[in-house]
Structure 1
Amino acid sequence: MGPTAALSIVSLLAGFAAARNCANLTIPVSISARQGLFKDVPFEGNLDATTFSQNFNNIGQNYSQVLLQGYQTLTGNYKIAAQFCVPEAGSKTSTIQLLSHGIGFDKTYWDVPFNNYNYSYTDVALKKGYATLAIDRFGIGNSSHDDPINVVQAQAEVEVLNTITTMLRNKKVPGITGSYTKVIHVGHSFGSIQSYWLSALYPNNTDGLVLTGFSVNPAFLPATIAAWNLHIARLNQPLRFGNTSNGRGIDISAPYRSGKVVGAVQGFLNKVGVKLSSQDIWNEIATTEVANLIEGYNHSVTSYNYPSGYLAWSDFTSQQYTFLLPGYYDLSLGLYAESTKQPVTAGELLTIGSSPSSSPFTGPVLVVTGQQDAAFCGGDCYANTKGAASIPAAAAAAFPKTSKFEAYIQPNTAHGINFHYNATGAYNVIQSWLGVHGLAA
């Protein structure tokens, strides 16, 4: 295949979905990151997580500065889990999209298997001829975990992203043959912040930016964290996030469809004289933390054994507030996202606002944000625009040297673009925009 990239036979046999040339890879990285050294914070129980949120959102203080003791240079060797995909007919391109997920998700955000991959960003990119590499960000999912306060911070994750980018260009990623001369960084939410951050520190190491679920307005972060009602991850979903290798939960397959759990609970309540409708019981189970304790609701295939200091939003109601627009998403897909969610570290939250104020990047930049995005627009991306066409459009000021900046607002969509009925509409806008601005596959 010459200079173009393709899967090696070994990596192809490692595992892929039917008719989709995708393989799971493990990428060893070595990084050096200058980042904060914070005081220890207790994270033994859920009330500790609530206390952290209260302190973080206190308008009378900058909690990151309160905890900051100094700075350190983190050096280390880590492993990053990734999914590499090429079009079914094989790779004929030297352009790849490097995909970075946001808080609460992992690499599967870009390739959701729900409903036969009908919501898959990866599939749309592949059909346009691109190769894709979706990573589990450092500290999350099947990538290396580490100290959640003083190791897994935003700066370290940016260094990982930059290292993998360089490896792609230089044919150094195990399992991928050939090199990619063009790397497009596509992010969602915190992944978009990190892609922007990379462009500020290493402007020559990206060829284009697609920042989804993004703006440069930080005013809505406190409301987002409050809405999450953060709990300790290992307590929130002990079957997935805790060390449960010696025990299992109630083994129910897809209970929100089968109704087995609802029926069992209703039978018990009838015996003790409590009358609740099946719908009320379903609400009590599926939309609260009760679902997190039931295997089948939380798809407890993998036990991640996250230490304290890894935090998670409390339940499905918190997820809807932040990510989903009622009436415009499939409830079963929302429940799937809750069952497979991932945590956030305290260190990430303490450093999320530390990115550079502007980027010298000269290439094209596309911002794609749902109109009703709560996390970055407060629920309405056209409100309080202060002279810009939208809140995301104001991000143009952060790219004073870009060759092309555009902000696209996806209608009937909240922060979690990929979980809405019209997700593929946004995907096609992105691919078309890349093609127009010199980044076609």
Structure 2
Amino acid sequence: MGGLVSIADQNRSFLALLAARESEDLGLALSALLGSPVAVQDLSGSVIFGSLDLPAQGRVTLRLEQQPIGYLQAPLAEPALCNAAARLIETLLRALARGRAEAARPTADKHARLQAESPQDIAPEDLQAQYKALSEQFDARVAAEVKLSDERQRQSYQAERLASVGALAAGVAHEINNPIAFVRSNLSTAETYLVKLDDLAIAVKNLPGGEAILASTDTEFTLEDFTALLRDSIVGVDRVARIVNDLKGFSNVDKPQEDVVDINALLSTACKMAEKKLPPGATLICELGELKPLLCLPGHLSQAFLAVLSNAAQAIEGKGSEGELHVCSRFDGRQVIIEVRDNGVGIEESALPRVFDPFYTTRAVGKGTGLGLTVARDIVRAHGGEIEFDSLPATGTKVTMTLPD
């Protein structure tokens, strides 16, 4: 029992030592970092330093040598930030513990060690500089942990979002496909009936007085116009059917989640859909090289390709007939390379680091969500690939996507 009390007292003394040396600066820094009042408590809940009477939520256990020694309390902080700050405090506590262990060494041992490590005593200002450098390293580590946590949360959100979009597309494709097939079948039947009616009109015309009968009912014009209307209807229904097939491709309907597919086929489909978004007179040039079939998530890659192509189409909106969009694919022996180039407005160099940030867009409010390139990057990286973005103002943009073989 005495040993346990000694360990508890020792741990509390570490916390107290931390409070005595760093409480003001550390408390202010933690509060600013976490956006919350903070407190450091021992295992009994007694406040070592920081705010009193904080709510119970937002409490993270502090450990030293795998043993709980206290708590960090920050009720208003994000969990990821609070955990990162707790790791920072634990690092400081380990440094204090090592310092106390060093202080407990016999004087002769310490003197010999100092002599071996340095010919001179370390000046206080050097210690301060070392502490400042260590503090900056801690800040960088905290920022890195927070960024990693945010990235994982965003990827999880995007995965859920993609799954939801895929389910929605699958539902729309299914609901539209059945009535469209029914209408297309009826139009085909009507086309055969129209041929019979045309034959009947010819037969009536050859009868005595037949021409007068047809003229009185305007039959010839009606049959001719109805034929044109029927053909236009068939073209429209076939176009809707193609859109449904495209939706099936994006949602993986009737296919396994992963499939070995022709990447050029996915690119061709995405190009056809993006072509509808081009400004009048603009040119879309596709140069698709020979590629090996690739194991992938076809629907997700199609969405990534369409997002990049749509972004390029928007960039050449003001170019009119001078607007050009180039899409090419090739295999370099190790990976599939897809390039999308436009001669649009381009992007300022200062904005390039943000092009893949969620919700960032250079378009006017209400004209874009700022998620297209973010989703495209996440999809490409999920396939083990990379996406690069090069742009010059008033010159154009090139997006390069690579997918490993």
TM-score, reference length from structure 1:
0.20
Task: Name the structure with the higher helix share.
Answer: 2
Which protein has the larger Cα radius of gyration, Structure 1 or Structure 2? 2
| TM-score, normalisation: structure 2 | 0.21
